Structure 1
Amino acid sequence: MVCQSDPLVLKVLQLYDSISKLEDLSPSAEVDALFTELVHLCIPPHPIDPTKLCPEIQEMRGKLISLCGRAEGLMEKHFTTLLASFDRPLDHLSLFPYHSNYLKLSRHEFGLLSKHCPNPARVAFVGSGPLPLTSIVLAADHLKSAVFHNFDIDASANAMAAKLVGPHPEISGRMEFHTADIADVPGEVLRGYDVVFLAALVGMDAEEKAHVVEHLAENMAAGAILMLRSAHGARAFLYPVVDPCHLRGFELLSLYHPTDDVINSVVVARRCLRPHPAPLGRHVLCPKCSELQPFNPLTLIEEEHHC
């Protein structure tokens, strides 16, 4: 069981201690420096398994992910406000510090998606926030005819996002924003989407994530694609990890772990054509999922599985 003896964990603990003492997580020289150091620390490949951390470190990791999520939301609002000061905000997206990372991640996700659903007509993005970069990039560069419905529980975030894309009719004409908890969105709505993207911070703990996935499994159309963002290795100190074998009601299609400066892993799954009830107390994808081979954390490559 990994604990404070690991040099990486020790450094993460030190950064967590400094970040947790900040009175304000809004962008500033101090906030930016601490989170930049944390991100750079967690990017290199590391064989750490977040499921084998000792309880104390597990608790710290959960709190750190929450702090990262809050800081990310404040950063997005800060830059959305800045971008909205331009006549054509989307022409200045490069001002956002992680814009290039989103371009790379969206390219990875489109590549994975195109293998299984090359021309989706209707796409839902859950947890879009005030700066819906994934939807914008996919709509502008990859899925140029698809309609995007963005869901977020924060009405102010949706208002900011709508204002951001408004001056761009080529994008805004294919964008809608809905203020709702995805777990409350009815089946007649969810069944209308060919693809549902789930942002990394939707479902901050395993129980909440499972509740969301269960709702999607019960209400998405059979054969529709679910795209989830996860984390691997030390990057799991920044974002929650999605265990593909807990995606009950879905069949795993692809699992991708980036090796560049893109943080998030990508899980691609398909809503099972027929339900496969799990034995009591277990979560399964479909009958063949028991055949999946263990993943080697030292081999950061794309894996594909077909049920």
Structure 2
Amino acid sequence: MPALLSVLGLGSPRNQSAHYLDDTNPQKLDILGEKVDIMGSAKITKAQIIALSILDTHEQLKKLPNYRPGEEINRLLGNLVHTCVQIHPPSVIQQILTFPGLQQMLPSLRTICSEAESCLENHYAQHALSLAPQGPDVVLKSLQIDFPYFQNYIDLARLELSAIRAALPCTDSLKKITFIGSGPLPLTSWCLLDEIRTTASPSDTIPTITNIDMSSTAIEVSSQLNAALGPWGEGMEFLCGEAGSPAISLLDSDVVYVAALVGLSQEDKEEIFLNVVRTMRPGALLVIRSAWGLRTCLYPEVSINTDRLLEVLQPCAVVHPYTDVVNSVVVARVRE
């Protein structure tokens, strides 16, 4: 989910946008208050304001002709993400998520966010690739500077790597990582490999990362961009295929990532996880991205504590960030 946070800096620490729930904006509070009044509420609450703002943002997003980066969608998604990463007491979060109509709306909102994130990744990938003739340093700098939440990918990679190392019996055994659903801009893979190189001792083995996506266009763009990055892209491989396909063996992978955009419901994701695990070796780790709190408005919360998944996976760790990082991290070991 870091890509959604990069909507041209909106909602980011570097360029805070005017927040929809700004208590200093009485006009917006009056408008929301009128909406709450139709429910017979005598006093508008913080939870009601937040819930109504999410519902209103969804309605505005549905009216857009497309979800490519632009002023209006940047503003809407920037405010939405900023709203969803705020920390509230559990009682407030519960009131928001149970607000009338909100749960029914969430599948549509998550689909819009998924499509917008894909458009955003492709936009920045194409932009960086256009700079390839100027050399690897220029391409890398364009990602670091032009992509406003590049730091978010670094933070997420560090979080995930810490969880992986805690679950691995021996970190020296980490030789191959596979990322399923890598997309046109595989920043997680680049940042993860860079973090491993940076923290490795001279005797450590540096793993390779295989990036898999079912879109041939995404693989073509990402592999070309990786080549344009020069040394920073070393150790990366790219393969076009579908998650869990028998044609793609994961037996030699120590860690397999499943991207947040692979499957948009618990049921879809569970089927994908089962298919993926069937092609993995016992003892290997599956890394899943989930969400918690209001962040579930952007991504569904993923549980591995179901009967079918517990038969093949042993949960190792679940990490919930309280920072601007949106996705939670779930690490599980494939059972013997």
TM-score interval for Structure 1 and Structure 2 normalised by the shorter chain: 0.7 to 0.9
Name the residue aligned to 2:335.
Answer: 272
Q: CA deviation at 1:116?
A: 2.1
| CA distance in 2 between partners of 1:81 and 1:238 (Å) | 25
Q: 1:59 aligns with which of 77, 96, 104?
A: 104
In structure 2, the gaps of 5 or more residues are 1-35, 40-46, 201-205
Partner SS state of residue 254, structure 1: strand
| CA radius of gyration, larger in | 2
- 1:126-146 deviation per Cα after TM superposition (whole angstroms, max 9, x unaligned): 111000001011112225711
In structure 1, the gaps of 5 or more residues are 274-307
Name the residue aligned to 1:142.
Answer: 196
- 1:179-217 deviation per Cα after TM superposition (whole angstroms, max 9, x unaligned): 111121447x11110000111111111221011111123
Q: 2:75 aligns with which of 33, 49, 60?
A: 33
Q: Which amino acid aligns with 2:279?
A: N
Q: Which amino acid aligns with 2:160?
A: E
TM normalised by structure 2 equals 0.75
Residue 186 to residue 50, structure 1, CA distance change in 2 (3 Å) = farther
- 1:242-276 deviation per Cα after TM superposition (whole angstroms, max 9, x unaligned): 11313331111111110111001100111112xxx
Q: Which amino acid aligns with 1:91?
A: K
Q: Which amino acid aligns with 1:170?
A: P
| CA distance in 2 between partners of 1:254 and 1:12 (Å) | 30
Runs of 4+, deviation exceeding 6 Å: none
TM normalised by structure 1 equals 0.82
Q: CA deviation at 1:41?
A: 0.5
Q: Which amino acid aligns with 2:191?
A: V
Instruction: Return 238-247 or 97-106, whichever deviates more.
Output: 238-247
Q: Which has the higher helix share?
A: 2
Q: 1:231 aligns with which of 291, 313, 317?
A: 291
Identity of aligned residues (%): 33
Q: Within 5 Å, which residues of 2 pair with 1:110-259?
A: 110-117=161-168, 118-119=171-172, 120-143=174-197, 145-186=206-247, 189-246=249-306, 247-248=309-310, 249-259=312-322
Q: Which amino acid aligns with 1:17?
A: E
Residue 50 to residue 70, structure 1, CA distance change in 2 (3 Å) = farther
Q: Which amino acid aligns with 1:33?
A: R
CA contact (8 A) 1:158 1:179 kept: yes
Partner SS state of residue 191, structure 1: coil
Partner SS state of residue 162, structure 1: helix
CA contact (8 A) 1:254 1:268 kept: yes
Q: 2:117 aligns with which of 72, 85, 88?
A: 72
Partner SS state of residue 245, structure 1: coil
**Is residue 11 of structure 1 aligned with residue 53 of structure 2?**
yes
Q: CA deviation at 1:219?
A: 2.3
Partner SS state of residue 183, structure 2: coil
Q: How large is the RMSD of aligned CA atoms in angstroms?
A: 2.2
CA contact (8 A) 2:157 2:195 kept: no
Name the residue aligned to 2:155.
Answer: 104
